Chain A
Amino acid sequence: METLTDLESVPDGRLWEAVAADDHGAFTALFERHAQSVWNYAYRLTGSWSAAEDVLSTTFLTAWRRRADVVLIRESALPWLYTVAANLVRNDHRRRNRFLRLVPKLVSTDESRDHAEELAEQDHTQQRLKKVLAAVDELPTAERQAVQLCLVGRMSTADAAELLGITEVSVRSRLSRARTRLRGMTEESFDE
């Protein structure tokens, strides 16, 4: 047994091994390390900060529940967490709500959305994002996965290829087809 005192400097792979051994401290360290990225990614997947919070909760709860089944062989846990988040979003709110007990959000005395979110929803950027996300949802599965990882998650095509188990050329090809379809559906441009 090895005892390390500085969890913050431990690579994800070793943290995950400790999580698999029920180490709550390691799980918290993993959460602290990636929660912000997952939360922002979830927003880009849903166009809602409130939904992003749900997705963040459920993504890490999924990670905890699957701790014994999963061995991380990559340097970072983030791609896997992104994949979990994307699947949660794909499976919609109903699954999330079943998956999460009805645990209330912290000291939420007002069930209505906060003022900031109300304002944000009026924002053109958010409306635009939601429109594009609706189009992404219509894409064939293979293209949608590539878009979620590379365009939404900013993952490199090489990393996405490794995660999806296909060649990098295939990822690029899927992205290219997806961009063409998305342009047709939304009249938006997508960075190459």
Chain B
Amino acid sequence: MSDPFDVPERELPDHVRQSVLHRISTEIAHERPRRRLGATPLLIAASVVALMAGATIVTSTLTANKDHTTLNATPSTAHPTTSTSGATGAYLWNGVPYWGMDAQMQRCVDATQKPVDGWFPLLRVSRNGLTAMLYRLGTDIVFCQVTKEHVTTKAMPYPQPPSGKAPGELLFTTPDGTYAGVVAPNLYNLQLRMDTLHGDNAAVNDSVFILPNSFRPGDKIDLGSSGSDYVTVTDMPQPTEPTVTVGGPKADRTSLGGQRLAACLPTANPPVVDADYWAPAAVIQTDATHWLQLGTLDGRLIACNRSGSTFTVDQPNLDVVEKHSVLMTGKISADGNAELNVLAVGLATDPRAAKVTLARAGKQDASAPVDHGTVILHGEGTLLPGRGQNRFTVVDSAGNVIEQFTQ
């Protein structure tokens, strides 16, 4: 009989991830700002028996605080910032409050053709190749969304804070499923619900919110925050179409791979950002209506899965797996295509990569060629659940190993 703890590892579903982040952010938002009293940190070392609030702690202690390194996703130099005191929901969707001038902001400024002076960044979020931002500009609130191929901007007079039952006011939407607006003062969490099955948390900062690249805009949307009922938005803004199109070459849609992507990508919800620009890459199939087709755009990977008449689109989040110099791997769901036996998909970041082999104890090695910078590994079983039990080897066309790592 197998080990009872040998339970297959599940991929963390996005709704669980969002729910947990929401709960944590709500808790943090309710906390008082931390007082810095120079408390001596505890050393997590050999003598730690248990670590949690209220549990027994046996530790050694350090004699001095360490110098802290501040890690910023982007430089923040242009504007003085208001203290967030740890009490915001700004960090959802890679959120950054009050950032400084950068290339994306410059694209927004250029698209609006307004002078750069006076733009005050409020909140920036990003997801799936899309960055959405809100600014205060004089008496206006300015929405801007940038992708590789498009810039979408819209400005309107800064509204009064929402009053009454509604926790927020929806001001902007885009066809890419981005939503933005204002929330009541001191509100640090907001959920948008398209229907009872589809919803997401928005990032919130300084009484504005953004939810990037979520579900496709429909006829109705509800806004809610923790501890309150949902309120239906009565005045749905029309989706704002792109203001500027870069005009780069669209991807091939004449080849079989291109046709597969053309059939599959428009069905995705949340919508695929810059859908016409994804280039076809590796594919495996059992027949004409059962296949897994990968696509790439700008260092990102997409997986289109067709099972009969059903398409599912998956964007493996390569940012949350370990990055390697040659290959990043992610897991995807190949719903309805169990016979494809997909183990992992990968994106090769080194043009020399020609073949990838996956070795697992007790299983046959799975190998696949790198096709247009991508790879689909398939074979018996699944990836082994324990860390370090799946060994990936990347070789060049001469068979020389150029990278090896375990996951």
Q: Which of B41, B90, B191, B224 contacts A69 (CB under 8 A)?
A: B41
Q: Is A70 a contact partner of B86 (Cβ separation < 8 A)? A: no
Q: Is B39 a contact partner of A66 (Cβ separation < 8 A)? A: no
Instruction: Return chain B residues, CB-CB under 8 Å to A3.
Output: 70-72, 75
Q: B74: CB under 8 A from chain A?
A: yes
Q: Is B90 a contact partner of A95 (Cβ separation < 8 A)? A: no
Q: Is B20 a contact partner of A35 (Cβ separation < 8 A)? A: yes
Instruction: Return chain B residues, CB-CB under 8 Å to A140.
Output: none
| Cα distance, A60 to B12, chains bound together (Å) | 15
Q: Name A120-173 residues within 8 Å CB distance of B.
A: 125, 128-129, 131-132, 145, 151-152, 154, 162-165
Q: A33: CB under 8 A from chain B?
A: yes
What is the minimal beta-carbon distance from B58 to any residue of chain A, in angstroms? 8
Q: Name B41-83 residues within 8 Å CB distance of A.
A: 41-55, 58, 62, 66, 68-75
Q: Which of A2, A5, A105, A109 contacts B69 (CB under 8 A)?
A: A2
A20-B41, A70-B51, A73-B43 given as contacts; is B71 within 8 A of A8 (CB)? no
In the complex formed, the residue of B with least CB distance to A189 is B1
What is the minimal beta-carbon distance from B124 to any residue of chain A, in angstroms? 11
Most chain B CB within a 10 A radius of its CB, from A25, A72, A101: A25
Interface residue count on the A side (C-beta < 8 Å): 85
Instruction: Return chain B residues, CB-CB under 8 Å to A163.
Output: 46, 48
Q: Which of A4, A71, A104, A105 contacts B71 (CB under 8 A)?
A: A4
Q: A174: CB under 8 A from chain B?
A: no
Q: Is A24 a contact partner of B19 (Cβ separation < 8 A)? A: no
What is the minimal beta-carbon distance from B16 to any residue of chain A, in angstroms? 6
Q: Is A129 a contact partner of B39 (Cβ separation < 8 A)? A: no
Instruction: Return chain A residues, CB-CB under 8 Å to B68.
Output: 17-18, 20-21
Instruction: Return chain B residues, CB-CB under 8 Å to A97.
Output: none
Q: Name B176-215 residues within 8 Å CB distance of A.
A: 191, 193, 196, 199-201
Q: Is A71 a contact partner of B387 (Cβ separation < 8 A)? A: no
Q: Is A23 a contact partner of B24 (Cβ separation < 8 A)? A: no
In the complex formed, the residue of B with least CB distance to A106 is B19
| Cα distance, A31 to B19, chains bound together (Å) | 13
| Cα distance, A20 to B73, chains bound together (Å) | 16
A25-B96, A44-B5 given as contacts; is B48 within 8 A of A101 (CB)? no
Instruction: Return chain A residues, CB-CB under 8 Å to B404.
Output: none
Contact with B along A25-46 (1 / 0, CB 8 A): 1111001110111011001100
Q: Is A57 a contact partner of B24 (Cβ separation < 8 A)? A: yes
Q: Is A87 a contact partner of B55 (Cβ separation < 8 A)? A: yes
Q: Which of B3, B4, B52, B84 contacts A62 (CB under 8 A)?
A: B52
Q: Is B50 a contact partner of A23 (Cβ separation < 8 A)? A: no
Q: Is A8 a contact partner of B319 (Cβ separation < 8 A)? A: yes
User: What are 23 contact pairs spanning A and B, CB under 8 A?
Assistant: A2-B69, A4-B71, A18-B70, A21-B69, A24-B88, A24-B90, A39-B10, A53-B16, A56-B20, A61-B23, A64-B28, A65-B53, A69-B39, A83-B51, A87-B51, A87-B55, A101-B26, A105-B19, A106-B191, A106-B201, A165-B48, A165-B49, A190-B5
Which residues in B have some Cβ–Cβ distance to A below 8 Å? 1, 3-7, 9-12, 15-24, 26-28, 30-31, 34, 36, 39, 41-55, 58, 62, 66, 68-75, 84, 86, 88, 90-92, 94, 96, 191, 193, 196, 199-201, 224, 226, 319-320, 323, 385-387
